[in-house]
Amino acid sequence: MTIPFFDGHNDTLLRLVDSSRPDKIAMFVDGTIDGQLDLPRANQAGMTGGFFAIFPPPLKADAASVVSSPTSSAGQLPPNLFVRDALASTIEMVSLLYKLERAGALAVCRTAGDVQNAIKNRKLAAIFHIEGAEAIDVKLDSFEVLYAAGLRSIGITWSRANVFGTGVPFLHNVDPDIGPGLTDAGKDLIKLCDKRGVMIDLSHLNAAGFRDVARLSTKPLVATHSNVHAISPSARNLTAWQLAAIKESAGVVGLNYATGFLRPDGKWDTNTPLEIMVRHIDALVDALGEDGVALGSDFDGAQMPKELKDVTGVPKLLKALLDKGYGQTLVRKIAQDNWLSVIERTMG
């Protein structure tokens, strides 16, 4: 029997927008041979929904500058973006999200009840998430517009600085304790997110910013797609004290499937066994308890292990947990129930 699962992070909207093909809606609705997530494969795998990220460009230039950054302790973050540029690309991807909804591919969900209804009606439940708040101005006017359009989850930073905070570079054997904490505007954004019921995603945020969110937010702490620093010491992964803070808040961490954030050696290598993913889940369960662990693939935004490959490989991961001795109840919590719980406690 297929175990239903909810996913904490995908970059599918960016993949579709970046495609040179004109039939972007059909690419998702009918399926393609490229990419890692589309509707037919999601249905085949048992995916019930997820956080659909909107990531403002320029992605390719920024990614290159991060990966090739100097091997200093701090690394090099890519340049900031202008709000107008980030907002333009964000609107393009939001438009695509709603075109997919009109095509019957998914349901954009604003509340936990919307998510439950979509799952009940066998419709892919999509939460509108922005990865890096560059499209939001310091007066937070665009936040109100995006919120009205359905925004319900925000990653304050991607792996670069913005007017709200500082991210972490994609460097291995580096602690995330890099750079300053949230700005005054960042602190205002956190408070407004709490007030409006918008989830705050700590993935990509540096340690000082993490501490500020933990101090200011009254909601569960969430990292939608991050792993365990003690296993894979990337600046993108979570240290013991961060995991302890998430547990204290009754928060959730979604396992990131990106090979470089899974492997102890930090290599981007598709020959990464599912066993390493299970090791991270073991460590997350130990640190967070059975209610604090979920899935956060990073589909269409990262290199996957060859054995998993795309969304149709998720059942292999869930079977590996069952084979390890995880009971059905715990596997179902990790696969879906823990996300649904924290969504209800955050978004209402």
Is residue 220 within 8 A of residue 251, CB to CB? The reply is yes
Tell me: pLDDT of 65 over 50: no
Query: pLDDT above 70 covers what percent of the chain?
Result: 93
- Residue 292's pLDDT is 98
Q: Give the integer Cα–Cα distance in Å for 125 and 55.
A: 19
The whole-model pTM stands at 0.94
Residue 238 carries which DSSP code? B
Contact 135, 56 (CB under 8 A): yes
Q: In this structure, are residues 150 and 74 in contact, taking their beta carbons and an 8 Å threshold?
A: no
pLDDT tens digits for range 147-195? 999 999 999 999 889 999 999 999 999 999 999 999 999 999 999 999 9
pLDDT, tens digit, 9 for 90 and up, residues 15-27: 999 999 999 999 9
Write down the pLDDT at residue 77: 59
What's the pLDDT score for residue 56?
84
Q: CA-CA distance, 67 to 52, in Å (whole number)?
A: 24
pLDDT per residue as tens digits for the range 70-111: 233 344 556 677 888 899 999 999 999 999 999 999 999 999
Q: Judge whether 160 and 79 are in contact, CB under 8 Å.
A: yes
Q: Whole-number mean pLDDT of the chain? A: 93
